[in-house]
């Protein structure tokens, strides 16, 4: 839930997320398709709370979470529900963006939701008190870093790495993007894209969604056990508006 990129291509979009987590946290379950009230959802499942940080719906929408709103906050538990379960509440709908606007987030820890729905891209932030929404151009690439782990200087440096990489990779493939997420940095293991802070907090996985008109393909790299997983979700054509 800590580094996310959105990269559009000719007939698809790539949403890729590095999950930075405490090593003592239980490993996530690899991606699977689960039936929900509004249709099938594809996501890796957090083994502790049962939620997730990244998911796709068979209606074609996709969502990724990052921890924190605009700045690092002091946690104030107990919270009413985990953010990973809030993500599932949002995506289990006809439109995750309108769900964000209407859902009550009282006693929910701050987060940033990146939502791709009906060809539109939204950055939705909850700062613990107020919602903030921004529509972004879905025809341009974007990068986000969690404000709970990276300060403004480091986020700016990561943005520069992304801009340089885009210049060198104008037609990047999914594998190119996964390589960027795993091997980009300047040798500072605390702040490289694949980070490691003394073995206590580190990048435990990279998840990529490739969203097309017909399907969402998810690739999940378990970096702790060095195991890749793939899963496929066929879009329900009537729900995808086709």
pLDDT tens digits in sequence order for the chain, 242 residues long: 699 999 999 999 999 999 999 988 889 999 999 999 999 999 999 988 899 999 999 999 999 999 999 999 999 999 999 999 999 999 999 999 999 999 999 999 999 999 999 999 999 999 999 999 999 999 999 999 999 999 999 999 999 999 999 999 999 999 999 999 999 999 999 999 999 999 999 999 999 999 999 999 999 999 999 999 999 999 986 444 43
Considering the entire predicted model, what is its pTM?
Answer: 0.96
Q: What is the pLDDT of residue 24?
A: 87
Q: What is the pLDDT of residue 45?
A: 98
Q: Where are the beta strands (DSSP E) in 23-159?
A: 29-36, 39-45, 54-57, 62-67, 111-117, 120-126, 131-136, 142-145
User: How far apart, in whole angstroms, are the C-alpha atoms of residue 9 and residue 236?
Assistant: 22
Identify the CA nearest to 177 among candidates 6, 35, 1, 2.
6
Contact 215, 232 (CB under 8 A): yes
213 three-state secondary structure? coil
β-pairing, 215-222 vs 201-211, is antiparallel
Q: What is the pLDDT of residue 241?
A: 43
Can you read off the two tokens belonging to residue 91? 């995506």
User: How far apart, in whole angstroms, are the C-alpha atoms of residue 12 and residue 116?
Assistant: 12
Phi, psi of 198 (to 5 degrees): 60, 30
Q: What is the pLDDT of residue 48?
A: 86
Q: What is the pLDDT of residue 240?
A: 43
User: How far apart, in whole angstroms, are the C-alpha atoms of residue 168 and residue 180?
Assistant: 11
Residue 87: which residues within 8 A CB-CB, separation 6 or more? 51, 52, 53, 55, 63, 65, 113
Phi, psi of 58 (to 5 degrees): -70, -10
Q: What is the pLDDT of residue 237?
A: 64
CA atoms 44, 50, 53, 54: torsion sign? positive
How far, in whole angstroms, is CA 201 from its chain's centroid? Answer: 18
């Amino acid at each position: 839930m800590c580094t996310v990129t959105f990269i559009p291509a000719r007939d698809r979009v790539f949403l890729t997320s590095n999950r930075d987590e405490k090593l003592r946290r239980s490993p996530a379950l690899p991606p699977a398709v689960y039936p929900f009230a509004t249709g099938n959802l594809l996501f890796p499942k957090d083994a502790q709370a049962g939620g997730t940080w990244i998911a796709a719906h068979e209606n074609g929408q996709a969502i990724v979470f990052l921890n924190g709103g605009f700045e690092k906050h002091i946690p104030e538990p107990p919270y009413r529900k985990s953010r990973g379960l809030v993500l599932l509440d949002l995506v289990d709908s006809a439109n995750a963006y309108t769900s964000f606007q209407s859902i009550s987030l009282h006693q929910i820890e701050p987060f940033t939701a990146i939502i791709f729905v009906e060809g539109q891209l939204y950055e939705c932030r909850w700062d613990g008190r107020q919602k903030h929404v921004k529509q972004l151009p879905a025809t341009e690439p974007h990068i986000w870093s969690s404000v709970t782990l990276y300060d403004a200087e480091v986020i700016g440096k990561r943005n520069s790495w992304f801009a340089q990489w885009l210049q060198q990779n104008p037609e990047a493939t999914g594998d190119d993007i996964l390589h960027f997420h795993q091997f980009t940095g300047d040798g500072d293991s605390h702040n490289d894209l694949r980070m490691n802070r003394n073995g206590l907090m580190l990048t435990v996985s990279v998840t990529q969604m490739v969203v097309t008109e017909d399907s969402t393909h998810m690739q999940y790299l378990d970096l702790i056990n060095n195991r890749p997983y793939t899963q496929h979700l066929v879009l329900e054509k009537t729900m995808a508006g086709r």
